[in-house]
Amino acid sequence: MIDYGKFDKALNHLASQYQNYSSLSERPDLGEIDREAIAESVIQRFAVCYDCLWKVLKRYLGENLGVPELPNSPKPLFRIAFENQLFPAVEPWLLYADIRAGTSHDYSENKAREALAAAGNFINDAAALYQKMTGKSWPLAQ
């Protein structure tokens, strides 16, 4: 049996902090350092959630779908998941993989903006995948 707990928790934390980030314009009382900290938290939580997601996806593909000899890297897993109709398009997942790789090696403002811009779509796509794998509604995706 697959334990989705870490993935669920990581997705909830990412969604909560992304909501916090999205409401920054409504909080003029926050200083620049606080705004940066919230943005950095979203990027870190994206990385954690992404890592939890692809690892649980690998287990799901092997244990629930019986896919033999799974690779130990995200992009090939996303292609296999797409082939098994776990999501409607593989391109967003390949983009998330590139963004995740970029944030782990390059701490530039451009990479940060890229990750922040993709976070909302990633949350929605990750919630849909969670629901597909577990058969349960994800709390914030309702």
How far apart are alpha carbons 7 and 140 in whole angstroms? 14
pLDDT tens figures, 70-92: 999 999 999 999 999 999 999 99
How far apart are alpha carbons 52 and 137 in whole angstroms? 18
How far apart are alpha carbons 78 and 89 in whole angstroms? 10
* Helix (H) or strand (E) segment spanning residue 35: helix 32-63
Give me the pLDDT at residue 141, please. Answer: 44
Q: What is the pTM of this model?
A: 0.93
Which residue ranges in the chain fall short of pLDDT 70?
106-107, 140-142
Domains of the chain: 5-137 (1.20.120.330)
